[in-house]
Structure formats: structure tokens, C-alpha cells
Amino acid sequence: MSNNLEENIDGRATAGDTSRTDSLLTGENSHLNFPQSVFRPTPNAIEIKNVTKHYKKGNFLRRQKTTAVDGVSFAIEEGELFGLLGPNGAGKTTLVRCISTLLIPDQGEITIFGKNIFRHPLVVRRQLGLLTSGERTLYWKLSGRDNLNYFAALYGMERKVKERRIGFLFELLGLNDFADERVERYSSGMRQKLSLALALLHDPKVLLFDEPTLGLDPQFARFIRGFIREELNRKQGKTILLTTHYMDEADELCDRIAFITAGRIVQINTPAYYKREIPHKEIIGVRVAGRIDVEPIRRLATVEQVSAHSQDGVWQLRIRTGKGEGILADLIELLRREAKILSINLEEPTLEDVFIYITGRSLRDEG
């Protein structure tokens, strides 16, 4: 597996684009005063080599070491939207924290545009924008505008550049009418928009988005996804690393996806390749009201795999089988004994089906 990863990293290397590197030192970034020698042209925006991170848990006498990230290696090209797809606890957030310099890994090397993040942390941080979910990265007693003004001062942005940038971001994200409201009065979606503005404030070339739509209602989640793909990636050419456990989000947004589980990268490829690669089997999608025992379903002839999860009292099952029509009658009979069938369909494989096929785990499993 490691040989494949090395070939994948090396195989994607191309000649450096000096014009894009030079743009780091011009325009709205000119106030950051980078020396010209800081960033040399490089084919990859992010390179991660054999990164490992351990945590120690328990008291002094019974401390146990847990490996959150285990020998991870991959590279992300400049302008690429790269996804880390895996269940909760797979190591996604820990890896993002290591890349953003919030955590120091126990082993390995991370570079941004060829610069080691631990040898040149201040320079690298100016080229990174970080967006997390479920964390209080904003000051709730301040207004949205005051939050951005405060962080702009920390970045050392000149007044005219700061005012132009903040005005641009409020307009871009539809926050103009709420710019002077306290953040504590914002909805969760508006706070996530403001957090996104904060990540973009210093116009970084690399963006790290850790579960950017987690906990948002469908309307705001749809806006965030569209903004990431269309505005930031396609229009502005930002390099984006996005972590998620939502298969549809990864499929919709990402150029390439790395499957991660138990702290290890299992495979890296495009969404289309993943879905082509899975052995051609039929997938039966089932929605039922009420709890269902999946063990009798697993024992049906030709059934190879069953995944199930519940949401708002509705159980959703995905059944991989060699012959879907052949088991429908027996499946319906089993389901009717325990629950009310809401829908049953033959479906195309999804990224979650591929993830389960490759790793043997569901994206909804806890790590």
C-alpha cells in the first residue's frame, strides 16, 4: 500500500508554476511583506510524509498511548480540492491540526509550498486559512465586524487593505446586514459564514476545512458547499483540504478523496474511480419506520453486506447483493414483521458503499 502512495505522490508531480507562486507576494497579500526567497516554485501545495501523532490518556500510573494519526503520507497539488473521508474518530481533525501547526506530530514532515511548517511556522501560517466546526473560534460579545478587525490587527494588515477586505467578505458571504450585530445573536449558519470570513481574511492560498457543514441546516450547508467549490476553488483557485464524513459532500466537491480509518490512509483516488472499482453488485436501499434487526437480512442468500443507521426514527439500510430481484420477496417479508416499509429501491453504489467494501467499516461508525 505504501508503494502505491509513493507512486501517487511522485506521479502527480509537475513543473512548478512561478506565476502562481509570485502571486502570493502581490496584490492583497503585499501587506504581509514576504521576502522573495520564502516560497520557491513547487508542484505541490501540501506534502505530508509519514506523519504520526499519539495521545496519552489516563492518570500518571495508568497512562495509555493512543495513535490518532498513523504514518500518513500524501500530497495535494496547488488548486486541488482534496477530501479526507472517514468516520468520526478516524484521525481527520488531528491531521488538520497538525497541518495548521496547532499540534506538533510525533513523527513525520509537513510542507506548504515546499516550506517545512515547523521550521518556518510564522511564514506558513500566513498562507493557511482554517475553518473548524463546533468550536468557538469567534468572540461572541463582539460584532462580526469587530471580530474581523481584531484578527486583521493580529495579522498586521494595513488599515485600507483591512477595510477593503472585510467589506469584500461581508458582501461575498451575504453578511452586510449583520456586520454590526453581536455574534451571540447570529444563527449557527451565520456564525459559520463569519468563521469562513475569518479563514479568508488574510487571503491565504491554502484552506483547511474540518467538517465545514457539520450541524448546519440543509440550506446553509448547501450554501457553504457551493461557495467552497464554485467561489473559492474554481474562481479563486484556492487549494483546499476538506474533511468530512458525509459521502455526498465528498462526492460533490472533491477532485480526489483519501479514505482514512483508524488513523491510516487506506486509498486515494477520484470519486469516479472509486465507484467504478467496486465489483458490480446491486445495492438495495431501504427506509423503514421502526427498529429493525439486520441479522436475518444478512443471512439471506446472495446478501454480501448490510449497513444500517437511524435518523429521526427512520432506519435506512443499504444491502449489497449479487442478485437484488432474487431476494426482494424474502426481504420484504422480513421487514414487514418488524417495521413499516417507507421505500425500497435498487440503487447505484455510493462512496459509502465503496468505503465499506474497502475498509469493512461504515462512515457512521465511531472511531
Determine the 3-state secondary structure of 104 from DSSP. coil
The conformation of residue 52, written as its DSSP 8-state character, comes to: E
CB atoms within 10 A of CB 294: 15
**C-alpha to C-alpha distance for 303 and 285, rounded to whole angstroms:** 13
The conformation of residue 214, written as its DSSP 8-state character, comes to: T
Q: What is the pLDDT along the chain (367 residues), one digit of tens a residue?
A: 333 333 333 333 333 343 333 333 333 333 333 333 334 445 699 999 999 999 987 776 677 889 999 999 999 999 999 999 998 889 999 999 999 999 999 999 999 999 999 999 999 999 999 998 766 789 999 999 999 999 999 999 999 999 999 999 999 999 999 999 999 999 988 999 999 999 999 999 999 999 999 888 888 889 999 999 999 999 999 999 999 988 889 999 999 999 999 999 999 999 988 888 777 678 888 999 988 888 998 989 888 888 888 877 788 888 888 777 778 888 998 998 888 999 998 887 788 888 888 887 777 655 4
List helix spans (H) across the chain. 2-11, 18-22, 92-99, 121-125, 144-155, 159-172, 188-200, 218-226, 247-253, 271-277, 295-298, 324-338, 351-359
**C-alpha to C-alpha distance for 112 and 288, rounded to whole angstroms:** 48
Domains of the chain: 2-275 (3.40.50.300), 280-348 (3.30.70.260)
Note the pTM of the prediction, 2 decimals: 0.76
Determine the 3-state secondary structure of 290 from DSSP. coil
